[in-house]
Amino acid sequence: MSGKPSYVQSSLTTLLLVALSMSLAPVTAFVCLLCHVCQDVHRPIETAKLWIRLVRETTGSRSSDRTVLITGGRTTKSLVLIRAFSKAGWRVILAEESQWGNLAASRWSNAVDRYYPLPDPSQSSADKAEYFRRLKYIIAIECVNLWLPCSSAGASVEDAHLADHIRSSGSHCRVFLPTETQMEDLHWKDRFETLCRLLDMPVPEAQTVTSIDQAVTFLHSSTSTHRFLAKSLGLDDVGRGDMTLLPLQTPQETRAHFERLSVAPSKQTPYVLQRYVSGHEYCTHAAVSDGKILSFVACRSNDMLMRYVDLSHHEPNVATQAWQWTETFLQRWQTHLTERGSPQASFTGHISFDFIREPTEETLYAIECNPRVHTAVTLFDDKSALASSYLYETEISPPPRVMAKSWLVHSVPLAAFNTLPQSLRTAASRLHPRLFRDRKWHDVTASPMPGMNVLALLGRHAVGLEKDAVFDACDPLPFFVLAHVQWPWFLLRVAFSGRGWDRANVSTSRIFTC
């Protein structure tokens, strides 16, 4: 694992990134202004719709159209769904935790009719209660017909709990979420691994431990010849990227490794020791209604994916295998729940799996499940079809040869680094241990590609070989806000807090502090 950056290293990197953002702001502003002028000339209908939305926001009047509530407004995936439902004629309400949402790029989309701030449900029981109350108020006052959460992992179980309450209350609002029990079975790594074994789905060998002693004993007394990865069951930004293969040479070294972790194994924070499987990583996104897959896409993956490529074009056999794995899992789970007499046997909601494909066995091993919208939804270019799939339960997939999606806010700084003379690059590479990593040319997840400079990167976007996941000529303001307001402020806020940062994910607006 790469060394952790110090606070000074992180702060210097932050200042350089913010300075780059501010220097490019006039260019981005000019491009956005040009897009607005072209819209005014060529798309008067869109301009009229924007004015109508502004009037609604000012007067507080409600449309009789269908209304969708989308939460998790700081993420790119929420912006994709916002634009999709707006294009399909829905009225779009956006909500996000106030500490993230007030400057979130999606809030400034012309597809958003109204925005509501929310409290952070993970802070305290009082905040959680207020979070529930606020969402129920929004659903009632805005006559919401459909609630689609794009919330973070930390709010997933809370959202499912509220969804159960809304369903049982006879509300007119349809919630696209599983039950709380189903959510917990998928969300928690140990419960998901147990469920997969119950359903006879391939998963790596795993062991849950609640202390360092248990971990060391299992790793050094196991008859297995495999190596293991240690994964915290809770949210652990610092340890998330730790790919140390265990056990180490001696029990003492293994113990010392666990003692250095930011969050050690305990009854409050259990760990899963999961067998390491070599091979390529893959991720999927699926929207499911009553056990039926409505939309599905699979991508090559890595520890922090910033370039999404539709697998059906590059590795169609693996894409088919991932779809079959997902369908089989849902069918077996529904059969199991039905046999147990569960009141809710079928699954409704979003489900995303992380796989590793063992090359010799050609087997897909599920290493994690995220019962949430996945950022891979950016590959659905036909926005109207994406929204309609939720309403009419039609099956869709990305169009053939869909452009790869990436984030210029992420790739331009790295491409600028590639433009520097070799002597400066060598010196600058010491600035942040995790900022500049070696990539291979055949790695389709690399963003930018190794050695690619800014002009080459922008050229790929200009000729249609790649597309920014946020920029839309009909809705350019979110891109400007992301690049020059939201992201600089998030980085500066971490610096002001006195903490360093290890990694930063532009797509989810998540900064992994250390």
Confidence (pLDDT) at 52: 53
Q: Nearest 5°: phi and psi at 158?
A: -60, -40
- The residue that leads in pLDDT, 247 or 39, is 247
CATH code of the domain occupying 64-177: 3.40.50.20
Q: Are 277 and 227 in contact (CB under 8 A)?
A: no
Counts of helices then strands in the chain (DSSP H, E): 18, 17
Percent of the chain residues past pLDDT 90, beyond the cut = 71
What is the CATH architecture assignment of 185-198+279-403?
Answer: 2-Layer Sandwich (3.30)
* Whether the Cβ atoms of residue 409 and residue 387 lie closer than 8 Å to each other: no
pLDDT band (50, 70, 90) for residue 285? very high
Q: What is the mean pLDDT of residues 90-103?
A: 92
pLDDT at 309 over 70: yes
Say which range, 51-60, 390-399, 459-468, has the weakest mean pLDDT.
51-60
State residue 49's pLDDT score.
52
For residue 484, give the DSSP letter: I
Q: What is the pLDDT of residue 417?
A: 86
- Does residue 42 or residue 510 have the better pLDDT? 510
Angle separating helix axes 189-198 and 316-339, nearest 10 degrees: 80
Least confident of 118-132, 282-296, 313-327: 118-132
What is residue 256's predicted lDDT score, i.e. its pLDDT? 96
- Greater confidence, 111 or 225? 111
pLDDT of 1 above 70:
no
Instruction: For residues 270-284, give the mean pLDDT.
Output: 94
The pLDDT value given to residue 399: 84
Q: Given this model, what pLDDT does residue 157 score?
A: 94
* pLDDT for residue 240 is more than 80: no
In the predicted model, what is the mean pLDDT of the chain?
A: 90
pLDDT band at 149 (very low <50, low <70, confident <90, very high): very high
Residue-wise pLDDT tens digits, 3-23: 688 899 999 999 999 999 999
Say what the pLDDT of residue 109 is: 96
Mean per-residue pLDDT, 492-503: 93
Query: Which region among 52-56, 140-144, 460-464 has the lowest average model confidence (pLDDT)?
Result: 52-56
Q: Report the pLDDT averaged over residues 385-391.
A: 92
Q: Identify the sign of the CA torsion 293, 298, 302, 307.
A: negative
pLDDT band at 314 (very low <50, low <70, confident <90, very high): confident
Binning pLDDT at 50, 70 and 90, where does residue 473 land?
A: very high
CA–CA gap between residue 173 and residue 163 (Å, rounded) = 10
Give dist(CA 77, CA 80) in Å, integer. 5
Mean pLDDT within 34-42: 76
What local confidence, expressed as pLDDT, does residue 40 receive? 64
C-alpha triplet 106, 110, 116: angle, nearest 5°: 50
- Model confidence at 57: pLDDT above 50: no
SS (H, E, C) 230-266: EEECCCCCCCCCCCCCECCCCHHHHHHHHHHCCCCCC
Q: Which one is predicted more confidently, 220 or 441?
A: 220
Nearest-CA neighbor of 226 among 239, 207, 201, 208?
207
Out of 115-129, 223-237, 296-310, 388-402, pick the least confident. 223-237
Where do the structural domains in the chain lie, given as residue ranges? 7-38+408-468+470-513, 64-177, 185-198+279-403, 206-275
Q: What distance in Å separates the CA atoms of residue 149 and residue 374, rounded to the nearest whole number?
A: 11
Environment class of 498 (CB within 10 Å of its CB; exposed 0-12, middle 13-18, buried 19+): exposed
Contacts of 285 (CB under 8 A, 6+ apart): 295, 296, 297, 350, 352, 373, 374, 375, 376, 377
Least confident of 118-127, 133-142, 439-448: 439-448
End-to-end, the C-alpha distance of the chain in Å comes to: 14
State mean pLDDT over 292-317.
94
| pLDDT band, residue 419 (cuts 50/70/90) | confident
pLDDT band at 233 (very low <50, low <70, confident <90, very high): confident
What is the pLDDT at residue 60?
47
